[in-house]
Amino acid sequence: MSWYRNTVWFVKGLREYTRGGYESASKHFNPADVEVDVAGRSFLVTGANSGIGKATAKEIARRGGTVHLVCRNKERAEVAKEEIVTETGNQNIFLHIVDISNPKEIWKFAEKFRNEHKLNVLINNAGCMVNTRELTEDGLEKNFATNTLGTYIMTTALLPLLEKAADARVITVSSGGMLVQKLNISDLQSGSGPFDGTMVYAQNKRQQVVLTEQWAKAHRNIHFSVMHPGWADTPAVRSSMPDFYERMKNSLRTEAQGADTVLWLAVSAEATKLPSGLFFQVRQPVPTHLPLAYTHSPPEDEEKLMEVLEEFSQKFKSVSP
């Protein structure tokens, strides 16, 4: 059935995930939803030096929020911070250099951050699509380490801070690619069979949807959401999917259009009127499974994913500096 799922996803995406899909949906947006003042609220955005992360951080800064940029590359991050401060006039922009593929670094950062700052909204945007199987210095497959384990540790490590906050939210940037994947807990690090970076990425994004649903059940006073930004013209798309970019470049959304639903989930009052744990695109909750795609998983598989990630998390916490 993989051919069927891929075909459905592609056809659906051509219609809904492009710039035209965004422009059509945006006719029904209420501009007032995001015309808000968030001064005094604190936002943390991972992967914030470019693409959707930077676009989101910039829009939050325009609205007066305190923004913590979590980035891997110091030089690019400093340029992004300067751009955000210059364009928005907001001086409350803080930079933290963290490699989200390195769990020990995440723990070290989170423990320090909890002691020094408050946090109202966490935006898990950092991600990667590595098209050959690479291992990190900890022996972790890089896509899994960044997209799944990194997201898990960053979120769980900051939950104590979020639990204390008013109107706390966690937003994770996923992908519609997850619609072609059923959760596979037997090979989380893609060590068996041929390696397909696109499908590994899609599997990671399915895992992020499951994480969001599980967190929503366990932490009732925090609003969790996961979203698909559509197909946007970002540096990550250009570098990781060059053939796709060449085919679709005239139909891709702008970075700001890709970031719109992230912003809406982060700042609007309307977002938290909807249940926690949902998957969104263009400001609307949408199903996490396509009809007849057979991508549903038994609850025990979803629980097992959480158990395995917690084991990894604690292992690296115990050896963090």
Asked if 157 and 106 touch (Cβ cutoff 8 Å), the reply is yes
Q: Is residue 52 within 8 Å of residue 124, measured between CB atoms?
A: no
Distance CA 219, CA 124 (A): 17
Structural tokens at position 263: 């912003």
| Active-site annotation holds for 294 | no
CB burial readout 281-297, b (16+ within 10 A) else e? bbbeeeebbbeebebeb
Residue type, 255: E
Q: Count the neighbouring beta carbons within 10 Å of the beta carbon of residue 163.
A: 11
Element (H, E) at 84: helix 74-88
Which residue among the candidates 22, 201, 245, 294 is catalytic per the annotation? 201
> What is the distance between the alpha carbons of residues 29 and 135, in angstroms, rounded to a whole number?
43
Angle at 163 between CA 152 and CA 100, to 5 degrees: 25
Partners of residue 278 on adjacent β-strands: 225
Residues with catalytic function:
201
